[in-house]
Each structure stands twice: as C-alpha cells, then as structure tokens.
Amino acid sequence: MSRFVLGVTGASGSIYATRTAMYLQRFHHEVTLIVTHPGKQVLEYEDQSALFDYCKDVCSVDDFFAECASGSSDIAGMAVVPCSMGTLGRIAAGTSDNLLVRAADVCLKERRPLVIVPREMPYNLIHIENMKRVTLAGAVVIPASPQFYSKPQSIEELVDTVVAKILKHLGVEQSLVASVAKVWNGDEREIPAPRNKSGASSSGNDKSTKAGTTTNDQ
C-alpha cells in the first residue's frame, strides 16, 4: 500500500481523476485529494462528485500545513489530473502558491513520480514551453489523449486508456495496464495488417496479423 496525491484543477476531464482514484483505491493505495477552487466548480459541473468516495483524505488547496506540503512526508507520487494550463504554468514556474502546486514541487525536489495530465487544445507556445520545463524537471506529461486501438466500448473504457498510463508512470502495476496493453503483448486479439497504396494487405494476403508483431506504441 502506498500513498498518492491526486491534484484536480479547473480543466475539463474530471472523469480522468475519478477513474484514477477509483483504480488506486481498488489496488489498495491511499489517495490524498487536493482540488483547486476552479477544480471544484468544474467537478460539480461535470457530475464527478463520486471522486470523493475514492479518496482517504481531502486537503484544502489553501492548507500549507498538510503533510504533502513537506518533503518529509511518505507520499509515493502525485498525479495532476486533469491539469489546467494555469496550474501547469505555476508548476513550471515553481510558484508553490497553493497546496497542489507545492505538493507537485515537493515531488520534483524529492525525485518522486509526478504525472501531469494537461487538458487543452490547441496548445500555444507558452503551454508547450511549460510542458518542456516540467519534463526537464522530472515530471511525466501524459496528455489526456485516449487511444482507440483497444476498441473501447464506453466512455469509461476510453478514459481508462489514459488512466492506465497514469498508473503505470506512478509505478502502480496492475491488471488495468495489462488489459489496455494486451494489444501489444501478443494475445489472441487481431490487428488488421497495414494496407498498401492499392488497398491490399501489405502482408500479401487479406489475413490479419497477430497483435504484438507491430513496433508501434501510442
């Protein structure tokens, strides 16, 4: 069992936070939740109040006495899901002016996993520069860009393709990662062979190729 901080901002996509917390709890980890003031409004607007059910503690974003504000805490890592461009900029600038940004700063200085899941489109140069800056400082930027090759059948399954990546980079290995990754692990699922210009299968016949033979990743 490990303790993780989950930071939630006022970016759209709070379902990513709910599903991340749900899986962390399911795999017996503890979640300390920090939600910014705009984050609370967007959470409510997107009907994601279930998020709170999966969290052990909820810290006020204004409470710098919270344990996760200190490098001496036993926090295993943090994810900022979804991350607004405002919070991304504050983390990149090291402002530590609210608990969420301070907790992220602590993870970077203590060399603990920090996963940032930005949600915006399109990006301007400031966003891109800030993503570069946090990456150079040790964070992993995982855009909220779900994949479709695992053929998700619901919004939840689509969301989970991103959540699996978040958990993986937090160091949480579990069955969700395995199930989303199975396309690449040579299981029984089949991926159509790439087509050549004439529209025929490039493998010379129309049969599908076994999953796992491709070198693509997301």
Q: Which residues bind ligand FMN (CB under 6 A)?
A: 9-12, 36, 38-39, 42, 45, 84-87, 119-120
User: Residue 95 Cβ, how far from ligand FMN at the closest point, in Å?
Assistant: 11
CB closer to ligand FMN, 42 vs 55? 42
CB closer to ligand FMN, 122 vs 204? 122
| Spatial distance between the Cα atoms of 122 and 177, rounded to a whole number of angstroms | 28
User: Residue 110 Cβ, how far from ligand FMN at the closest point, in Å?
Assistant: 22
CB closer to ligand FMN, 98 vs 150? 98
CB closer to ligand FMN, 42 vs 170? 42
CB closer to ligand FMN, 117 vs 193? 117
CB closer to ligand FMN, 11 vs 180? 11
Q: Which of 83, 78, 54 is nearest to 66 (CA)?
A: 78
Question: What interhelical angle do 155-170 and 14-26 show, nearest 10?
Answer: 60
CB atoms within 10 A of CB 146: 18
CB atoms within 10 A of CB 84: 21
User: Residue 79 Cβ, how far from ligand FMN at the closest point, in Å?
Assistant: 15
Cβ burial 102-129 (10 Å sphere, 16+ → b, else e): bbbbbbbeeebbbbbbbbbeeeeeebee
User: Residue 8 Cβ, how far from ligand FMN at the closest point, in Å?
Assistant: 8
User: Residue 157 Cβ, how far from ligand FMN at the closest point, in Å?
Assistant: 21
Radius of gyration of the chain (CA): 19
DSSP code at position 117 = E
DSSP code at position 3 = E
User: Residue 117 Cβ, how far from ligand FMN at the closest point, in Å?
Assistant: 11
